[in-house]
Amino acid sequence: MTGATVTLLAVDLADAERRWQRESIADRVAAAPGGRVATAARLEPVAAAARRGELAQVAAALPALEARGLFEALLEDLAVAAIHDAPFSVLAEVCDKLARAAKLRALELAALEAAPLAYPAELRAEPRPDTADGRAAFVVWLEGPRAADARAAAETLARHSGDELAEALAHVLVGPTVVGQVLP
């Protein structure tokens, strides 16, 4: 994966899905006027569909990639911590150290490629060649107790090694769910 980058977000995925179904795009824009949803709401085709109400209803009127993009914008707006565009090879090295320390193979960054999609059911259709590369989708990397174990291992590694990326990763692992995206 030479040249690939990774984005990881700490987010409450269940809360994001609830907001997706119940929150209007206008309310989301008001809550985070400088956020990614607010930016998307000003651009076509989201702007034209925004009058439909809830985020899920807006997305239903959009092409598949734009609908996924709107959900991704919501995830980014709700994330309590994030690592954006980290080089895959560098982050993979840190994650491999964590996997060994925590004795948790799920921590290996390669697990991102096999992880389930992190989208609501209506957006989970596998990407087709004419819509997107499957690796461009957000996936559930870690959640629940595995994320907590990973955070403890990352905090220990950061304390003992002074590794800034391990420290940043520990901050991302605070969420109940960590979603990730690998871009070639």
- What would the pLDDT profile of 59-115 be if each residue is shown by its tens digit? 999 988 889 999 999 999 999 999 999 999 999 999 998 888 888 888 888 888 788
Helix (H, G, I), strand (E, B) or coil at 56: helix
Specify the DSSP class assigned to residue 50: G
* CA pair distance 164, 63, nearest whole angstrom: 39
Domain parsing of the chain, residue ranges: 5-9+81-183, 13-78
The number of angstroms, rounded, from the C-alpha of 50 to the middle of its chain's C-alpha atoms is: 23
DSSP state of 130: T
Range with the poorest average pLDDT among 16-25, 39-48, 74-83, 133-142:
133-142
What are the tens digits of pLDDT across the range 116-163? 889 998 888 755 444 445 446 889 999 988 888 888 888 888 888 888
1 pLDDT tier (thresholds 50, 70, 90): low
Q: Please report, as a single letter, which amino acid is at residue 70.
A: L
